């Protein structure tokens, strides 16, 4: 039986890219019975009824999967955040980073709309970029209007599956239009009444950019830590995980424990205070989470 990769899911159909091209497939009823939900990015075995239609018979094992956006086998996430309009949010960025780290996906931070910043905003973004780079992240400052940073971003998209994710209205679609001008993806301005972008991307689809596949995903502004346990959270903050190895007590939560290396690093400004505060807030959120049965 032929094998391929799901590159788009829409209205109950799965578009599978195989050796013979793209085949529009439906999932077998057994998937619903076994609660298997094929995702964009899945490697599948399918049976072709003809050149254009077929059925998915089997979903291969995934190396990872995301719930929002619903996609699997992701190699890296391009986390797109605007410097302004909407205002840059370290809280939201850190929520994304925690989920991406937890799923063992390589994150790349892309800060857009740098052409709209004034001198003070540029300085603020430069400081944030420095903080995240010191934590070990790749940070690229971009502008879809001036094409700032596009040459730096392009090599990261070569090979594998990259997902473009971020809040609505930050310019994900505009960035993809610069990377592949023939796409002409619909974009909308920020809603001045709501202060956020209108949703212009309504389904997940893998798009060929260079020698890689890129997913432009629906924007969203809330993320839940449903699968992360309190003991795992510190590992999703690289600089906290690194300093945490020096703590006197194993299993230190870096809250009130004595001789905590993480708290010492915050006091010495080796770890930004806002990152540590986000860690504490997220930890509290996880501890207060209602148990699932």
Residue 249 counted as domain residue: yes
Global confidence as pTM: 0.85
Instruction: Enter the DSSP assignment of 254.
Output: S
Do 212 and 130 reside in the same domain of the chain? Answer: yes
On whether the CB atoms of residues 287 and 230 are closer than 8 A, the answer is yes
Residue 23 counted as domain residue: yes
Do 137 and 191 reside in the same domain of the chain? Answer: yes
Residue 104 counted as domain residue: yes
Do 130 and 52 reside in the same domain of the chain? Answer: no
Instruction: Note the pLDDT of residue 4.
Output: 95
The CATH number of the domain where 175 resides is what?
3.40.50.300
Q: pLDDT tens, 134-184? A: 999 999 999 999 999 999 999 999 988 998 888 778 888 889 889 988 877
Do 113 and 17 reside in the same domain of the chain? Answer: no
Do 205 and 234 reside in the same domain of the chain? Answer: no
Q: Pull the structure tokens for residue 14.
A: 């799965």
Q: How confident is the model at residue 186 (pLDDT cuts 50, 70, 90)?
A: low
The domain total for the chain is: 3
Do 72 and 177 reside in the same domain of the chain? Answer: yes
HEC-encoded secondary structure of 144-208: CCCCCCHHHHHHHHCCCEEEEECCCCCCHHHHHHHHCHHHCCCCCCEECCCCEECCCCCCCEEEE
Q: How confident is the model at residue 282 (pLDDT cuts 50, 70, 90)?
A: very high
Q: How confident is the model at residue 30 (pLDDT cuts 50, 70, 90)?
A: low
Do 212 and 235 reside in the same domain of the chain? Answer: no
The CATH number of the domain where 8 resides is what?
2.40.50.140
Do 149 and 178 reside in the same domain of the chain? Answer: yes
Cα–Cα distance for residue pair 73/88, rounded to 1 Å: 28
Residue 293 counted as domain residue: no
Residue 261 counted as domain residue: yes
Question: What is the span of the domain harbouring residue 137?
Answer: 66-216
Do 52 and 112 reside in the same domain of the chain? Answer: no
Do 173 and 210 reside in the same domain of the chain? Answer: yes
Residue 265 counted as domain residue: yes
Residue 55 counted as domain residue: yes
Cα–Cα distance for residue pair 34/239, rounded to 1 Å: 41
Residue 292 counted as domain residue: no
Do 153 and 241 reside in the same domain of the chain? Answer: no
Do 239 and 133 reside in the same domain of the chain? Answer: no
Instruction: Note the pLDDT of residue 61.
Output: 93
Pairing of strands 212-216, 205-209: antiparallel
């Amino acid at each position: 039986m032929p094998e391929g990769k799901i590159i788009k899911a829409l209205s109950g159909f799965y578009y599978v890219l195989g050796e013979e091209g793209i085949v529009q497939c439906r999932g077998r009823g057994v998937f619903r019975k076994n609660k298997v939900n094929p995702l964009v990015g899945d490697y599948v075995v399918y049976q072709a009824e003809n050149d254009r239609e077929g059925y998915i018979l089997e979903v291969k094992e995934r190396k990872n999967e995301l719930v929002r956006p619903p996609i699997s086998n992701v190699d890296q996430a391009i986390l797109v955040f605007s410097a302004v309009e909407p205002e840059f949010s370290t809280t939201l960025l850190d929520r994304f980073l925690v989920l991406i780290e937890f799923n063992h996906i390589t994150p790349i931070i892309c800060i857009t709309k740098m052409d709209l910043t004034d001198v003070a905003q540029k300085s603020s973004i430069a400081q944030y970029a420095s903080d995240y780079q010191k934590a070990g992240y790749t940070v690229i400052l971009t502008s879809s209007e001036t094409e700032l940073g596009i040459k730096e971003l392009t090599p990261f998209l070569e090979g594998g599956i990259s997902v473009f994710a971020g809040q609505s209205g930050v310019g994900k679609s505009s960035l993809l239009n610069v990377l592949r001008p023939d796409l002409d993806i619909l974009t909308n301005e920020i809603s001045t009444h709501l202060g956020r972008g209108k949703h212009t991307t309504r389904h997940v689809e893998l798009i060929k950019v260079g020698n890689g596949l890129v997913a432009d995903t629906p924007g969203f502004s809330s993320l839940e830590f449903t699968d992360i346990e309190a003991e795992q959270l510190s590992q999703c903050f690289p600089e906290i995980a690194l300093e945490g190895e020096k703590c006197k007590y194993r299993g230190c939560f870096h809250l009130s424990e004595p001789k905590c290396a993480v708290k010492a690093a915050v006091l010495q400004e080796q770890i930004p205070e806002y990152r540590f505060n986000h860690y504490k807030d997220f930890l509290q959120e996880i501890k207060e989470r209602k148990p699932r049965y």
